[in-house]
Structure 1
């Protein structure tokens, strides 16, 4: 770390600035007083600098003494002014530099990961605003670190189950407890695929949070895209006794990424089917509106708890255990691996994909046991560079 010259410090510069101002003021005062005083003396003495008639050399002597007295008085005033300026500069430098040093100490603590550091509020308006910015930075860093730690724990939890199952089957086959036949090996393959889907979803989540999810919009029929997603989930719905129905115009031309939009709709339909009971119906609506098109997925299943309208889009969200409204695994694409992989981040990625198209994905519900409605809004005209995530 290089050491800067002493005169580059804020304290030194504040003191020097006071001294420079005082010295400049003193010099100006000397010049003005000399000019005014001497000219006044000459005027009062009849405009003669030399001896007046009848006075001998007294006039010149008095003038010299007067000028010397003025010079001494002004010089003393300048010296006193410089000393006072230096003292005031030291006080001002200390009062200004101390809050900055406190803020620097606080930022050093933030760099070490100590986000609960106390940030004092200086009396100066600008420094107080800077202190507020540092406090907001600390809060955001703390939230980010908390989310990072939580994500690591959640990913470890998600990976633990398939890894444990895979190891259990492998050890059982090695010990001869289970035969190494196709059925057992298929279970191992299924758990391996689950890990692969988790890795892919985590990659998509990372891209979503960085705002770089790949979306390649092309002119296409949105109704056809939605219908393909419905067809992909239709068999699963029939297997659970849930009917899927589509309400849409004959065609809705829209510039979008068919694969990504179908991915979102598939995830919503999978969650809706899982949340429904045998005999229920899941309705998919394509509704053109002024400036955008809405794709709605409506079910009459377990519904959402108060506050879940936004919580379900959080990564690895889990419905609180003990809730009496159905399977807690029916949220955020979690469960048996449909939709976006069953990793607990399905709706997180789905909303990021909707936003990457310049739209959004929102949820609503009339309450527990009264179904849920997920609405994906897609603009008819894409803005340049929409952010994802």
Structure 2
């Protein structure tokens, strides 16, 4: 499963878990709170309702000589569980009679009557009446009398407590879920960053020269691909390090041998042990030529590996080029007792860098003479295909095993690893490989131990 899929599923799962938990916890808390609140409200309201007949009877019993204030006070004292309000119907205003415990104000509305009752430390209570509950006249003034149970104040307080409780429970739920989310986030970060931390430590090991460092890969997502790439990189660096150590050793030997021979021969000439004639000078020239060849090969390999070699493409007669090379090697094959065969298709031309293609073919033919001479047969073939030309150089010599085949294109690698092998520097095939790659072509090898080797240069004929 890809890392993006894992991360998406993790975030989605955590989100659904948190939101779902918060939703169900909120629903549970609110349901319990509202159920309890409604039960209390029903009890308070049912117990506090006052019948109109009782109020009418109380007013009738009062002395007609009492003032409006006295009537209101006496009525409030007789029904202490009720909150009474008196409105001058003509003036549409609250009577000057007021309650010492509450601050009551009349709010004019288009339909009905509305009152605002405020108590200390409590949210204002708004009471709406569609019509007056009872009319009565005092001193030729018509009043509207309204009342409601004082238990509604308790109901309002209970409502405030309910809201406070819900707010506290929701806040607690949010805090708990936030802690759970933080924990899940930490676990997710730990899960995703653990291999990256391991990767960091492995890079530090590589930096300190531990090139054999590897990471166990058990994941199949993008992180697993990164860890696998690190292992590949570490293997490549380790191989490169070994290769350069071997290269330095080989270079030291390849340069030391001819230089030592030149120095020894010059000292012998100076001491009069050997004559300073043309034969000795030719020997010195051959040694210098060997050094120059090594330097030229290293220079060419360097610029081909860095893609800095400039190719000179032109239309060339590939058939004629190979026929010329066959003629060039015919005498050498005859002297070595080797049968040189060729099967070259006629009239094949292509846009190539003829100099570099010839250089590759010469290297492959020289390689066949060096390591395939025991088979007494070398074949040079040319065939044209739809998108490429195939130049095959094969022999029936000693061939190569799997280990040799995998290393044959590495610099300074020689089939015969003895340093006494002066016939090869181990640079020819690496140069051929890089030249072919620069020309968008390839070199393939088919070989097995004791059955010879076949190198095929596939020259691309497409742009």
- Normalising to structure 2: TM-score of the pair? 0.60
Q: 1:362 aligns with which of 432, 441, 444?
A: 444
Question: Residue 295 of structure 2 corresponds to which residue in structure 1?
Answer: 199
Match of 2:271 in 1: 175
Aligned-pair CA distance for 1:37: 6.9
Task: Tell me, yes or no, if the aligned pair for 1:297 and 1:373 is still in contact at 8 Å.
Answer: yes
TM-superposition CA deviations, 1:72-127 (whole Å, max 9, x none): 33334344444554555555555554543332122222233322335366889554
Per-residue deviation, 1:253: 1.3
Cα distance in 2, alignment partners of residues 79 and 197 from structure 1: 78
- Partner of 1:142, secondary structure, is helix
Call closer, same or farther: CA 1:297–1:100 in 2, change over 3 Å.
closer
Q: Distance in 2 between matches of 1:282 and 1:121?
A: 47
Distance 2:217 2:334 in 1: 64
More strand by share: 2
TM-superposition CA deviations, 1:154-184 (whole Å, max 9, x none): 2223223212212211222233322333322
Any stretches of 5+ residues in structure 1 without a counterpart? 1-17, 323-327, 336-341, 384-389
Q: Structure 1 residues 69 and 359 mapped into 2: Cα distance closer, same or farther (>3 Å)?
A: closer
Distance 1:184 1:142, change over 3 A: same
Q: CA RMSD in A?
A: 4.4
Matches within 5 A, 1:69-84: 69-84=165-180
Q: Does 1:343 align with 2:425?
A: yes
Corresponding residue for residue 382 of structure 1: 462
**What is the number of residues matched between the two proteins?**
345
**Higher relative contact order by CA 8 Å / sep ≥ 6: 1 or 2?**
1
Would you say the 8 A contact 1:309–1:365 is kept in 2? yes
Which deviations, in whole Å up to 9, do the C-alpha atoms of 1:228-271 show, x marking residues without a partner? 32344344445445564544344211122221122222223333
Which residue number corresponds to residue 366 of structure 2? 270
Given that 1:292 and 1:377 are in contact with CA atoms closer than 8 Å, whether structure 2 keeps it comes out as: yes
Distance change (3 Å), C-alpha of 1:172 and 1:127: same
From 317, 325, 335, the equivalent of 1:229 is 325
CA distance in 1, matches of 2:231, 2:362: 42
Query: 1:55 maps to what in 2?
Result: 150
Alignment of 1:160-171 (within 5 A): 160-171=256-267
Asked whether 1:147 is paired with 2:243, we answer yes
Separation in structure 2 between the aligned mates of residue 54 and residue 276 of structure 1, nearest angstrom: 118
| Correspondence 1:288-299 to 2 at 5 A | 288-299=384-395
1:1-389 correspondence to structure 2 within 5 Å: 49-50=125-126, 53-56=148-151, 57-86=153-182, 89-90=185-186, 93-94=189-190, 96-117=192-213, 119=215, 127-242=223-338, 244-274=340-370, 282-300=378-396, 302-307=397-402, 308=404, 311-320=407-416, 335=423, 342-364=424-446, 368=450, 372-379=453-460, 381-383=461-463
**Are 1:309 and 1:362, in contact at CA under 8 Å, matched by a contact in 2?**
no
Q: CA deviation at 1:366?
A: 7.2
Give 1 or 2 for the bigger CA radius of gyration: 2
